[in-house]
């Protein structure tokens, strides 16, 4: 692992979150949902890279959280909200490949969860 690689992941994660907020304002809810999932995925991979020197090549937020919980038990707090984590994880496929439209209200709930619960927990790890 290089610190440069880790920083690239962190910077990209933060850019995805900023982009999600911009897309929300533009009414692009499908892409906002995708960007939120990318933020979660990359920030978890960043944390794993910092703590272990590697991360699994997976898109599953649940798997990434479980791997992170092996090195820091506080990550288990994210599993308390497994329904929301699963909803965000599903947006990786749903927003890209399925004929599904995300509604403003559901994406707002996802963003609120990320900003108020997910991000603070991950930032502490």
Residue 63 CB partners (closer than 8 Å, separation 6+): 56
Structure confidence by residue, pLDDT tens digits, 54-77: 999 999 999 999 999 999 999 999
Domain spanning 3-124: which superfamily? Nucleotidyltransferases  domain 2 (1.20.120.330)
Cα–Cα distance, 102 to 87 (Å, whole number)? 11
pTM, to two decimals: 0.94
Structure confidence by residue, pLDDT tens digits, 88-121: 999 988 887 877 899 999 999 999 999 999 999 9
| pLDDT band, residue 1 (cuts 50/70/90) | low
Q: Between the CA of residue 95 and those of 12, 46, 57, what are the distances in Å?
A: 19, 23, 21
Is the per-residue pLDDT at 37 higher than 80? yes
Report the pLDDT value the prediction gives residue 39, as an integer from 0 to 100: 98
């Amino acid at each position: 692992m290089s610190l440069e690689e880790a920083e690239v992941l962190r910077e990209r994660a933060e850019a995805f979150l900023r982009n999600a907020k911009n897309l929300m304002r533009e009414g692009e809810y499908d892409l906002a949902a995708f960007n939120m999932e990318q933020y979660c995925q990359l920030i978890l991979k960043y944390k794993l890279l910092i703590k272990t020197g590697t991360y699994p090549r997976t898109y599953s937020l649940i798997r990434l959280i479980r791997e992170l919980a092996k090195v820091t038990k506080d990550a288990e707090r994210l599993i308390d909200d497994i329904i929301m984590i699963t909803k965000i994880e599903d947006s990786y496929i749903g927003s890209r490949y399925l004929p599904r439209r995300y509604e403003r209200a559901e994406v707002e709930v996802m963003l609120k969860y990320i900003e108020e619960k997910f991000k603070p927990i991950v930032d502490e790890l």
